[in-house]
Every structure is written in C-alpha cells, then in structure tokens.
Amino acid sequence: MGAEKVGREQRYRLEPAPLADASAWLTSVGAAWDRRLARLAEGTARPTP
C-alpha cells in the first residue's frame, strides 16, 4: 500500500503482490478448515435407520 499527499487529500493505492500472498494464504487456511469440518460432520452424522 502506498500513500501520496496531494493538497489536502491523502491518496492511497494498493499494491497487488501482497494481496495475492494474502489471498493464497486465506485459500489454504479455508481448505484446511473445510477438511476439518468435513471430518467433524462424518463423525457426528446420525446413521440412517
């Protein structure tokens, strides 16, 4: 993220590279939670009568 002062305004800009890193990390963490929750659901599912 960068910032530039123009008169009374402060203008911000995002740099995409760090956002891509964050997105990749969030994707991997989300996938790990999906696997954990699927295992939990399997362990707590009621058998069909």
CA distance readout (Å), 7 to 4, 23, 36: 10, 34, 52
Task: Tell me the residue length of the chain.
Answer: 49
Specify the pLDDT at position 8: 92
Specify the pLDDT at position 41: 92
Rounded Cα gap, residues 35 and 33, in angstroms: 5
Per-position pLDDT tens, the chain of length 49: 788 888 999 999 888 888 888 999 999 999 999 999 999 998 888 876 6
Specify the pLDDT at position 14: 82
- H or E element in which residue 36 lies: helix 16-44
Instruction: Tell me if 12 sits within 8 A of 2, measured CB to CB.
Output: yes
Specify the pLDDT at position 46: 80
* pTM (two decimals): 0.57
**E-state strands within 1-49:** 2-6, 9-13
